[in-house]
Amino acid sequence: MAKTVLITDDTAFMRMTLKNVIQKNGFNVVGEAADGEEAVAKYAELRPDLVTMDITMPKMDGITAIKEIMKIDPNAKIIVCSAMGQKPMVIDALNAGAKDFLVKPFDAERVIEALNKAAD
């Protein structure tokens, strides 16, 4: 049974790119969210095995969203996505409960490694 993934990023392009990589590698992308609020709502609804979470997003940022999701499900497996230069935010995200982090621009292998490792 393929692991289910919820992708969160405010740019449609990044969602598309991530989805492509993730789907090609045997995961099942069950949902996409364009901001933190949507991610929390969709997590509650879909209960995906894994979540990728962008940090800088409108409405609700990724770190707040991680905290909210961890409230819903303390076992949520969230991978935070950041860019170079967001170190303090990545640390915040990890402290909030993110299992791993990815740095943009994404390397497909890294994305899959992170998903696989977080899924275990």
Partner 1 sequence: MDASEFLDVFAAEARDYLQALSQDLLALENNPDDRSILDEMFRAAHSLKGMSGTMGFNELADFTHQMESVLDLLRTGEIQANQQITNVLFESLDNLEILLNKTLLEEDIDDISHMVKPLEDILNAKDQFAAKSAPKADSALESNQEPVAVSSGLTITLDDAIKETVKQGFNQGFNAYEVQVKLRQKTLLKSVRVFTIFNALEEYGTIIKSQPPAQDLEEERFGLEFAVVYLTTEDLESIQKLVEGISEVESVVVKEIKLNGRTKVTEVKPVKAETKTQKIAQPKKNDTSVVNKGVFADRFVRVATDRLDNLINLVGELVISRTQVLEIGQTINHNEAKSTFEQLDRITTDLQYAAMKLRMVPVKQVFDRFPRMVRDLAQASNKSIQLEIYGEDTELDRSLVNQIADPLVHLIRNSIDHGIETKEVREALGKPAQGLIRLEARHEGSHVIIEVADDGQGINVEKIKEKAINKGLLPENFTGELSTAEAIELLFKPGFSTSEKITDISGRGVGMDAVKTAVEALSGQVIMTSTPGKGSSIVIKLPLTLAIIKALLVRTHGQIYAIPIQAVRENLLITKDQIKTVNREKVFVLRNEVLPLFDLAETLGFESQDDGDSYSVIVTEDHGGKVGFIVDELIGQQEIVIKSLNELVGDIPGIGGATVLGSGRVALILDHSTLIKRRSETIG
Binding site for partner 1 (CB under 8 A): 1-4, 10-14, 16-17, 20-21, 28-32, 42, 45-49, 56-58, 82-91, 94, 100-101, 103-110, 112-114, 116-117, 119-120
Name, in order, each residue with C-beta under 8 angstroms of 103's C-beta and a sequence gap of 6 or more. Answer: 81, 82, 83, 84, 110
Nearer to partner 1, 74 or 105 (CB): 105
Residue (70 or 103) nearer to partner 1, CB: 103
Q: Least CB distance from residue 63 to partner 1, whole Å?
A: 14
Q: How far is the CB of 71 from partner 1 (least distance, A)?
A: 20
Half-sphere exposure (CA, 13 Å, Cβ side) for 14? 24
Give the rounded distance of the alpha carbon of 16 from its chain centre. 13
| CB-CB neighbours of 85 under 10 Å | 9
